[in-house]
Chains A and B, each alone.
Chain A
Amino acid sequence: MAESAHSQTADAHAAGGTRRDFLVITGNALLGIGAVAAAWPLISSMNPARDVLAAGAPIDVDLSSLQPGQQILVLWRSRPIFIVHRTPAELKKLQDPQDISLLRDPDSNVLQQPPYVKNWHRSIKPEYLVLVGICTHLGCIPEFMPQPGGSLGPAWLGGYFCPCHGSRYDLSGRVFSGVPAPYNLPVPPHHFVSGTTVRIGENPTTSPFDFDSIEQI
């Protein structure tokens, strides 16, 4: 009996399908859609909740006591933010063609910063650098090592060194070639509300920028 039912279906198949085929195919398709619909809320619930998203409000930082050559670390959206006051000598080194030739993306072509800081110093005011202090390799916090040479050897030009897997960045957060980190350190949206007060997490009113569009935090 099973045999004859089988050959019947086979014949029907040759003829272009039966009512049963139709029911089986639509039934399975609906089941698949239903499964996806049921999985969606579960998967979506694991994304950042609304209160987590709301906690990303901008913060103001007063830089008046930050001396040239110093760095401070603040928290924004539970991420470490580096703010550096660079010296004129350090700024000059950022333009040295020989140093630039060692960088992976010297012109900041990858979208790792808002367009208003896509310049040679990667900042709004040349002396004040603002970076997300998260290594673009696997997320460690790079160490601020502004002095050339030292424990990293004579070839070290000064910048950031990541202790986890040895990625190196210069003093504008641009990554050197030949290290595991693929991209420059990201620059968060920021602007100056007064001469020495920077607001992190907000763009200058004239230049909209979506922080989430950054290639990689």
Chain B
Amino acid sequence: MAVSQNKLVQWIDHRLPVFTFLDHELNQYPTPKNLNYWWNFGSLAGVMLTIMIVTGVFLAMQYTPSVDDAFQSVERIMREVNYGWLMRYLHMNGASFFFIVTYIHIFRGLYYGSYKAPRELLWMLGVVILLLMMMTAFMGYVLPWGQMSFWGATVITNLFSAFPGIGNDIVTWLWGGFAVGNPTLNRFYALHYLLPFVIFAVVGLHLMALHQHGSNNPLGIDRKGPQDSVPFHPYYTYKDMFGLSAFLIVFAIVVFYFPNLLGNPENYIPANPMQTPPEIVPEWYLLPYYAILRAIPNKLLGVCAMFASIFVLFIVPWLDTSKVRSAYFRPIYKWVFWLLVIDAFALGAVGAHRPEGIWIVIGRVGTIYYFLHFLVLMPLIGWFERPLPLPPSIAEAVLKKRGGGALAGAAATRTKP
């Protein structure tokens, strides 16, 4: 069947089947009919990536990557370039909002068991994206060459010196000198420009893996037939657009009214390699990892724990032994999940404070609990927990909840008007 009556479209599609592809993946694409708003955050992350690339390219037209000029060039963007302030504030806060939606997206996956078979690779590609995002954001934060840029770069690159034997050589290699300096800034700029496009490519693979088996859903049971799904368009295109509008309102409020809310004032002081600021804190989205790093009073072990805290996510599909995906039917895991959320916030708070007094204790307990959750609780709970009975199908569960029949209309339109 032709995708369109338009002769030109048909001519192109016969030679380059983009229209068939889009029709298949965005229009007809059968999607569980019971997705809730937590399923909006994937498309929101895609929108954020696009905003970052667009604003980034225009910032790059004005930015100068040199230790003598970088700070001034960013101030020039803020004061002299038409709408430069807008592009910078969108980019700066965009990074934060990109992480907010991505973290929600990840916790959504943890709650509804979206990492379980057959979606293991989909999940692992997501963890790859998270790692690439953290690298990109870290290097972007170095570019304005403020005090936090410089000292953040120093502390983070020095993490690699913990590796026995070759550590120092790695760090010198990363710097291209004997300290963070001009060669470092230049290579970070080159990589900061490159990595978002790598992310874009991995997102493509992520979506390919997603469309192979389709979305998971709040019940965590497979679609059994056409009565369980609706076509992606118009049902989810509109639902996503509604969510996007709400999200953009919040984003705009921060960009226009509180643009420096999530930033650190120290970064408006030009980098000074002779003076460490009284406190070095990373951007908020890296605080929990920073807390784990500092929780262990041994350099190598601290660094290992920090990397492990992310790498453990890769093996989550095999750590969770429960056959039931959705926490909705898992009376114990459900609570443990919320403890992990609290733990993540607690570690974030620890990362923002000097490691003194009570913060040391919270940091250590939080770190232990983090690993306990993944390495002990996840496998164990899957063994002894008795899940609630699963509904026979998505359609039946949905109809029962809505008092039957209410959704009959929607079900009938699943073959698209």
Residues of A whose CB lies within 8 Å of any CB of B are 43, 46-49, 52, 56, 73, 75, 77-80, 137-141, 143, 163-166, 178-182, 216-217
Chain B 137-160 interface mask (CB, 8 Å, partner A; 1/0)? 000000000000001001111110
A179, B294: Cα distance in complex, Å: 10
Check B124 for interface membership: any CB of A closer than 8 A. no
Q: Which A-chain residue is minimally distant from B172 (CB atoms)?
A: A48
Give the B interface residue count (CB, 8 A).
38
Tell me if B179 is interfacial: C-beta within 8 Å of chain A: yes
Residues of chain A within 8 A of B168, CB atoms compared: 216-217
Is the pair B176, A216 in contact by a Cβ cutoff of 8 Å? no
Give Cα A181 to B280, complex, Å. Answer: 16
Given A46-B187, A182-B299, the answer on whether A141 and B276 have CB atoms closer than 8 Å is yes
In the complex, A141 Cα to B154 Cα: how many Å?
A: 10
Knowing A49-B183, A139-B158, A166-B354, say if A180 contacts B173 (CB, 8 Å). no
Q: How many angstroms from the CA of A52 to the CA of B178 in the assembled complex?
A: 8
Known interface pairs A48-B183, A164-B276, A216-B168. Does A180 touch B302 (Cβ–Cβ under 8 Å)? yes
Q: Which chain A positions have C-beta within 8 A of B176?
A: 46-49, 52
Least CB distance, B91 to chain A, in whole angstroms: 26
Give min CB distance, B135 to chain A, whole Å: 15
B356 closest partner in A (C-beta): A166
Give B157's nearest chain A residue, CB to CB: A139
Please name the residue on chain A nearest to B278 by beta carbon: A163
Q: How far is the CA of A49 from the CA of B176 in the complex (A)?
A: 7
Q: Given the complex, which residues of B lie within 8 Å of A137, measured CB to CB?
A: 158, 299
* Residue contact A166 to B159, C-beta cutoff 8 Å: no
Which residue of chain A has its CB nearest to the CB of B179? A78
Known: A166-B355, A216-B167. Contact between A141 and B274, CB under 8 A? Answer: yes
Q: How far is the CA of A178 from the CA of B280 in the complex (A)?
A: 21
**Residue contact B177 to A78, C-beta cutoff 8 Å:** yes
Q: Which of A56, A165, A182, A216 has the most B CB atoms < 10 Å from its CB?
A: A165
Known contacts A48-B183, A180-B299, A78 near B273 by CB under 8 Å: yes
Indicate if the CB atoms of A138 and B356 lie closer than 8 Å. Answer: no
The 9 A-B pairs with the shortest beta carbon distances in the complex, nearest first, are: A139-B158, A138-B158, A138-B155, A140-B276, A141-B276, A78-B179, A139-B154, A77-B178, A182-B299
- Residues of the A chain whose Cβ atoms lie less than 8 Å from the Cβ of B274: 73, 75, 80, 141
In the complex the two chains form, is B154's CB within 8 Å of A179's CB?
Answer: no
Could you say which residues of chain A place their CB within 8 Å of the CB of B178? 48, 52, 56, 77-79, 217
A selection of 16 A-B contacts at a CB cut-off of 8 Å is A48-B175, A48-B177, A52-B178, A77-B178, A79-B179, A80-B273, A137-B158, A138-B156, A138-B161, A139-B154, A139-B157, A140-B276, A141-B276, A165-B355, A180-B297, A217-B168
What residues on B are CB-neighbors of A143 within 8 Å? Answer: 276
Q: From the candidates A138, A216, A217, name the one contacting B159 in the complex (CB within 8 A).
A: A138
Q: A180 contacts B155, CB within 8 Å? A: no
Check: B387 CB closer than 8 A to any chain A CB. Answer: no
Q: Bound complex: CA of A43 vs CA of B157, how far in Å? A: 17
B299 → A minimal CB distance (Å): 5
Identify the closest chain B residue to A73 (Cβ). Answer: B274
Residues of A within 8 A of B155 (CB): 138-140, 164
Contacts of A49 in B (CB 8 A): 176, 183
Residues of B within 8 A of A165 (CB): 294, 355
Given known pairs A164-B280, A179-B297, the reply for A138 and B154 (CB within 8 Å) is yes
B212 interface hit (Cβ, 8 Å): no
B81 to chain A, nearest CB (A): 31
B4 at interface by CB-CB < 8 Å = no
Could you say which residues of chain A place their CB within 8 Å of the CB of B173? 43, 46-47
Q: Can you name the residue of chain B whose Cβ is closest to the Cβ of A162?
A: B276
- Whether B275 is near chain A, meaning CB under 8 Å from some CB there, is yes
Q: Smallest distance from the beta carbon of A167 to chain B beta carbons, Å? A: 10
